[in-house]
Structure 1
Amino acid sequence: MIRLTKLCLLALAASVLAATAATDTARLSAAQLKKAVRSDSISIPTPGELFAALEKPGKTNWSAQYREPIPMTYRNRAQIALNLGGLVADGFIAVEAKDSQQVKNIGSDIIKLAKALGVSEKLLSRSSSINEFAENNEWDTLQEELEATQNEVKSSMQSHADQDLVILVTLGGWIRGTQVVTGAIMQDYDERSAKVLRQPALVRFMQSKINEISPELRGEPLVKDVSEQLGEIQKLVSFPPGKAPTVDEVRKVNEAVDKVMTEIESKELPK
């Protein structure tokens, strides 16, 4: 399993871009993910944390969660940021699957979208490291190096006053990560794994973060649409404490996040 780090997902953009010295990490258990969180200290789980929290018996077929390549020609910055977050989740899937070619493919796509958002060349120039680790199947080292770049990417975007984009990348990663987790649970249902989907406080928190971004960006059709659909997703993940969602309830969550991801990926933005 991927070693875990608590912090903003945006930083994971570097996940598939670079390598730096290792940083301290902390594992997040399924129990921790399911707890109600404080509004001032909530930590949005990264795709890697979501995947690790599955605690599924047996081996998860990660490659079954791959998707078709997405367009690399988006012009809308909000849409680029949301898709960048989704690609970061794809990078974690490839690492879990120990698929070196897929890691390199996703890394290349992340670089393209990151450049469109103006992520610093300092980070982009490190991309060869990911290829080297993948080529040599150094998965433990790769996982550590992916995590070690998180704060640097976050810092890079925040220094350019792009906190709004940090929020959207984080959101895009969570949506794609939840799509993958629900897909994996449906593939081989397990009650213990399904309980990780109870995240109503987390979804409310993400909605509150969307409300903090600039009025101009918040008013964009895609951002408005994603925000509205989060409200529906919140209802679907509000299972009673201690109760595992049924297969049908998991399917409904999967369908809801599928719908959001389809709109995020689409070249035709909502009107």
Structure 2
Amino acid sequence: MIGAEPARLPADQLAKAVRNDSITIPTPGELFAALEKPGRPNWVGQMRGPISTSYKNRAQIALNLGSLIADGFIAVEAKDSQQVKNIGTDIIKMAKALGVSENVLSRGNSINEFAENDEWDALQEELEATQNEVKASMQSHRDQDLIILVSVGGWVRGTQVVSAAVMQNYDERAAKVLRQPALVSFIQSKMNDISPDVRDVPLIKEVSGQLPGIEKLVTFPVGKAPTADEVRKVNEAVGKIMSQIQAKESK
């Protein structure tokens, strides 16, 4: 489990995200912290409108819950307290749909309270803690598949935002954050670990099927930053997955 305090990973080391001797999928907070190094992005410009909270398929709910937690981090970075509260409410709705614990629901109250008082550092920690509570609750229900999907949803949305921010204000140091071949390979292996019945869900097949292409797009020589055009291709590829994750008609 990733702790409540977001790790500050140097951009070049993000792909390694090593915990003991195994890679972990970085949280949106970690992705955004790495992006902060070269200069402050336009976080307000990265916010999106509200998404549906009434998906029927548990796998799709988990992916969208992960992406929604990423939206929470964006709203905190943008210092938009109303948006933080709205997203906090939606996180709780989706968490309830997945049957997660009361602990997660109390986190929602804390998020509202901190947002009311513009306590941004506390909100960062609370979002990390909320994500951990969601995963811990799933762990206690032996819902390993959903834990993986929450992490993947957060990574897809986080990478969409990071690549969009780099495109807006291209900077070689910031662009290096997107060099993640080992990480994408690891995500593919985790998706393959999902139980066959969930793996057969059309949306999960779609997401898994696009990961090899994304791995190629985020593979650059060590020390070389991707060009602005390469960053755009990464953004388009993860944006396509994000659209599929969000689509109401996904099975």
TM-score normalised to structure 1 length: 0.87
- Residue type of the partner of 1:189? Y
For residue 32 of structure 2, what is the aligned residue in structure 1? Answer: 51
- Residue type of the partner of 1:7? I
- Residue type of the partner of 1:153? V
Offset from partner CA, 1:41-78 (integer Å, 9 cap, x none) = 10211111111111454431101011121112110011
Q: Secondary structure at the match of 1:239?
A: coil
* Residues 183, 232 of structure 1: alpha-carbon distance in 2 compared, 3 angstrom cutoff: same
User: Are 2:29 and 2:124, in contact at CA under 8 Å, matched by a contact in 1?
Assistant: no
1:230 Cα shift?
0.8
For residue 218 of structure 1, what is the aligned residue in structure 2? Answer: 199
For residue 11 of structure 1, what is the aligned residue in structure 2? Answer: none
Q: Does 2:147 correspond to 1:152?
A: no
Q: Does 2:113 correspond to 1:132?
A: yes
- Residue type of the partner of 1:254? N
1:29 Cα shift?
2.0
For residue 7 of structure 1, what is the aligned residue in structure 2? Answer: 2
- Residue in structure 1 matching 2:104, options 95, 115, 123: 123
For residue 177 of structure 2, what is the aligned residue in structure 1? Answer: 196
Q: How does 1:7-46 map to 2 (within 5 A)?
A: 7=2, 26-35=7-16, 40-46=21-27
For residue 63 of structure 1, what is the aligned residue in structure 2? Answer: 44
- Residue type of the partner of 2:231? V
- Residue in structure 2 matching 1:229, options 207, 210, 215: 210
- Residue in structure 2 matching 1:142, options 123, 148, 151: 123
- Residue type of the partner of 2:109? S
RMSD, aligned CA: 2.0
* Residues 265, 68 of structure 1: alpha-carbon distance in 2 compared, 3 angstrom cutoff: same
* Residues 70, 58 of structure 1: alpha-carbon distance in 2 compared, 3 angstrom cutoff: same
1:24 Cα shift?
6.0
% identity of equivalent residues: 73
User: Are 1:30 and 1:55, in contact at CA under 8 Å, matched by a contact in 2?
Assistant: no
- Residue type of the partner of 2:174? S
- Residue in structure 1 matching 2:78, options 78, 97, 113: 97
For residue 169 of structure 1, what is the aligned residue in structure 2? Answer: 150
Q: Which runs of 5+ in 1 are unaligned?
A: 1-5, 9-22
- Residue in structure 1 matching 2:161, options 180, 185, 194: 180
For residue 207 of structure 1, what is the aligned residue in structure 2? Answer: 188
* Residues 57, 263 of structure 1: alpha-carbon distance in 2 compared, 3 angstrom cutoff: same
Give the Cα–Cα distance (whole angstroms) in 2 for the partners of residues 44 and 124 of structure 1.
24
Give the Cα–Cα distance (whole angstroms) in 1 for the partners of residues 179 and 38 of structure 2.
19
- Residue in structure 2 matching 1:261, options 235, 242, 250: 242
- Residue type of the partner of 2:213? E
